[in-house]
Amino acid sequence: MKHCQELLSQQRAKLTSELYTLQGAYPGHDWFASTVFLIMAGDMERALRLLLHLSTLLTSAFLWPARLHGSVHLPMEIAQSSIHPVYSCTTHYVEMLLKTEVPLVFSAFRMSGFTPSQMCVQWLGQCFWNYLDWPEICHYVSTCVVMGPDYQVYMCVAVLKHLHQDILQHTQTQDLQVFLKEEPIQGFRVSNYLEYMEGLERSYRTMVLTDMKNISQRISKQC
Q: At what angle do helices 151-162 and 190-215 cross, to 10 degrees?
A: 140
In terms of domains, do 101 and 46 share one? no
With contact defined as beta carbons under 8 Å apart, do 98 and 162 qualify? no
| Predicted local distance difference test score (pLDDT) of residue 158 | 99
In terms of domains, do 138 and 208 share one? yes
DSSP class of residue 22 equals G
Examine the pLDDT at 193 and tell me if it is beyond 90: yes
Average pLDDT of the residues in 46-72: 82
Examine the pLDDT at 161 and tell me if it is beyond 50: yes
In terms of domains, do 157 and 119 share one? yes
In terms of domains, do 74 and 132 share one? no
Examine the pLDDT at 218 and tell me if it is beyond 50: no
In terms of domains, do 77 and 89 share one? no
Which range is least confidently modeled, 30-39, 69-78, 82-91, 159-168? 69-78
Question: Around Cβ 11, how many Cβ atoms within 10 Å?
Answer: 16
In terms of domains, do 42 and 91 share one? no
Q: Is residue 11 part of a domain?
A: yes
Question: Around Cβ 14, how many Cβ atoms within 10 Å?
Answer: 8
pLDDT band at 7; cut points 50, 70, 90: low
Examine the pLDDT at 198 and tell me if it is beyond 60: yes
In terms of domains, do 111 and 194 share one? yes
The pTM of this model reads 0.83
In the chain, % of residues over pLDDT 70: 77
Q: Is residue 222 part of a domain?
A: no
In terms of domains, do 119 and 197 share one? yes
CATH of the domain at 150: 1.10.472
Domain residue limits at 146? 85-217
pLDDT band at 22; cut points 50, 70, 90: very low
pLDDT band at 30; cut points 50, 70, 90: confident
pLDDT band at 5; cut points 50, 70, 90: low
Question: Around Cβ 49, how many Cβ atoms within 10 Å?
Answer: 13
DSSP class of residue 66 equals G
Q: Is residue 117 part of a domain?
A: yes
d(CA 25, CA 119): 24
d(CA 51, CA 59): 12
Average pLDDT of the residues in 197-208: 98
DSSP class of residue 200 equals H
pLDDT band at 55; cut points 50, 70, 90: confident
What pLDDT digit, counting tens, does each position of 93-111 carry?
999 999 999 999 999 999 9
Which residue, 99, 133, 113, is CA-closest to 176?
Answer: 113
d(CA 133, CA 186): 9
Q: Is residue 68 part of a domain?
A: yes
Domain count across the chain: 2
